[in-house]
């Protein structure tokens, strides 16, 4: 195994504050080694742990990772159940440590459709870390960008019907209904494994995020690869539709 474990080089002035990762390639990693896919997913959790630990060293304040999409239900039942099992073991083994490290954990995605015990684990993990503000970790699980857009629109309509607001829909009140409401503007989306698509991840938030695609398979990810993505980000000129290049990160 070539786990990426080199020491990070530290945050730059234009480092991304909010980074999202499409953690892809667990299956191919396992296949290349003649191992069952479940082991690829298990190593993927180790890569996630390494990446979370390294993120603050690059000045990242919020990390959003794609763990399970609304489309991933179409995988064989055995694989779906392996992925659910990993949530149980990850939260059981890491929640106390995350809480102590000042991490606020949020799960993005629909609770309906999840096994009842997973929904309960998620609720507990969120409640237990809600007071933390050093670092935000958002795990998209049973998440789909389109479903989230529909939910946000529905929330606004419900507020109007309930007489809670008379405000017409606008970008601000719409974004307040998204699963990511309250997290910093998204600066960078990373996708591993060489695929170059969003696969229904953070469709609204991606509007002006920089995209970095890396050929590494997710179970091999870690501080070195994250450092390379952050370095690529720092080279980008963000213009937001204007003519003048802005620094890579918006100072909000
Ligand atoms: C990413 O790895 C993890 C999830 C989608 C849950 P994959 O399982 O998609 O791995 P590949 O794309 O088949 O290699
Ligand atoms: C996206 O990866 C979902 C996660 C990483 C959880 P997929 O492997 O499901 O995406 P596609 O099917 O290749 O587009
Ligand atoms: Mg994949």
Query: What's the average model confidence in pLDDT over 212-218?
Result: 98
Quick one: pLDDT at residue 19? 98
**Which residues 6+ apart lie within 8 Å of 150 measured at CB?**
none
Going by the annotation, the residues of the binding site for Mg(2+) are: 24, 210
Quick one: pLDDT at residue 162? 97
Quick one: pLDDT at residue 229? 98
Quick one: pLDDT at residue 18? 98
Residue whose CA is at the smallest distance from ligand 2 atom 12: 199
Classify burial at 49, counting beta carbons within 10 Å of its beta carbon; exposed 0-12, middle 13-18, buried 19 or more: middle
Classify burial at 143, counting beta carbons within 10 Å of its beta carbon; exposed 0-12, middle 13-18, buried 19 or more: buried
Distance 72 CA to ligand 1 centre (A): 9
How many residues in the chain?
Answer: 252
For residue 171, how many other CB atoms are within 10 A of its CB? 9
- Taking only the tens place, the pLDDT of each residue in 85-126 is 999 999 999 999 999 999 999 999 999 999 999 999 999 999
For residue 13, how many other CB atoms are within 10 A of its CB? 9
Residue whose CA is at the smallest distance from ligand 2 atom 11: 199
18-144+186-234: CATH superfamily: Decaprenyl diphosphate synthase-like (3.40.1180.10)
CA distance 221 to 224: 8
Q: Is the pTM of this model over 0.85?
A: yes
Distance 62 CA to ligand 3 centre (A): 23
Q: Where are the domains of the chain?
A: 18-144+186-234
- Please determine, for residue 12, whether its predicted confidence score (pLDDT) is greater than 70: no
- Taking only the tens place, the pLDDT of each residue in 178-196 is 999 999 999 999 999 999 9
Distance 184 CA to ligand 3 centre (A): 27
Strands 103-108 and 135-143, sheet pairing:
parallel
* Nearest ligand to the CA atom of 20: 2
């Amino acid at each position: 195994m070539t786990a990426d474990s080199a020491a990070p080089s530290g945050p730059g002035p234009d480092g991304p504050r909010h980074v999202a990762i499409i953690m892809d390639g667990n299956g191919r990693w396992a296949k290349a080694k003649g191992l069952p896919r479940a082991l690829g997913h298990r190593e993927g959790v180790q890569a996630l742990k390494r990446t979370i630990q390294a993120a603050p060293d690059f000045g990242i304040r919020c990390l959003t990772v794609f763990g399970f999409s609304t489309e991933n239900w179409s995988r064989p039942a055995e694989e779906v159940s392996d992925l659910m099992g990993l949530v149980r073991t990850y939260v059981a083994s890491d929640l106390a440590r995350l809480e102590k490290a000042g991490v606020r954990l949020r799960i993005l995605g629909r609770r309906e459709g999840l096994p009842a015990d997973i929904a309960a684990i998620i609720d507990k993990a969120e409640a237990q870390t809600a007071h933390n503000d050093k670092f935000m970790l958002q795990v998209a699980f049973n998440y789909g960008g389109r479903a989230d857009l529909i939910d946000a629109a529905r929330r606004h309509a419900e507020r109007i019907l309930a007489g809670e607001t008379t405000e017409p829909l606008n970008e601000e009140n719409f974004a307040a209904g998204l699963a990511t409401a309250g997290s910093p503007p998204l600066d960078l989306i990373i996708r591993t494994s060489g695929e170059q698509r969003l696969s229904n991840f953070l469709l609204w938030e991606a509007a002006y995020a920089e995209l970095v695609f890396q050929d590494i398979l997710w179970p091999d990810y870690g501080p070195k690869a994250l450092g390379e993505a952050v370095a690529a980000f720092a080279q980008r000129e963000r213009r937001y539709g204007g003519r003048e290049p802005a620094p890579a990160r918006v100072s909000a």
